[in-house]
Chain A
């Protein structure tokens, strides 16, 4: 069965600091990986996704993520965060060929001006 782990539950950064949020999944076969963001009071929106090809994927608002197959990881990065990045970030996986999508427990990011 597929599963996702996000080890950082709450991260506090100052504006302009660099961000890296961890995501590890467990599934032995082909996977599709996603990062979603949820701003306060809103529903989830897609940040970026990986399904094949270049393991470094770029998303909206300057976010990027790197798929490292040997480590079963898909970490999210941003070189310089802004106050407006304050939100909760979710990693998600679905095994290739299946419609079931599993989410991690989320990481709350607080950016201090």
Chain B
């Protein structure tokens, strides 16, 4: 079982460049999430999708867009990268009721110079 797969694992961008982080899960989960992790700030929710066809803003959505392409895939796009977006990005998914745990991918380490 692959679980939650994120690509790429590492990326370096220049300020102003764009890119899309990909996330796919094979657990038939309804909900998917994008978090960023920064030292001393924990995980902050960027966007989430409670079900296929819906997306909602989290705590830090500015500078990002998302697409829930289908039930399996949830992508995160940076239209014009900024150094403040240097971070580790984690995708997660959750199936079942609201007390179900999140299943995380291995993360994407993004550096914006």
Contacts and interface: CB of A to CB of B under 8 A. Distances in A.
Say whether chain A's binding surface is mostly helix, strand, loop, or mixed: loop
A61 interface: no
Interface of B: 31, 33, 35, 40-45, 48, 50, 56, 58-59, 90, 92, 94, 98-99, 101-102, 104-107
A51 B99 contact: yes
Contacts, number: 61
Contacts of A92: 102
A37 B52 CA distance: 28
Contacts of A90: 42-43
Interface of A: 6, 9, 32, 34, 36, 42-46, 49, 51-52, 90, 92, 94, 96-106
Contacts of B58: 100
Contacts of A9: 40
B102 A44 contact: yes
Nearest to A44: B104
Given A44-B90, A100-B56, A34 B40 contact: no
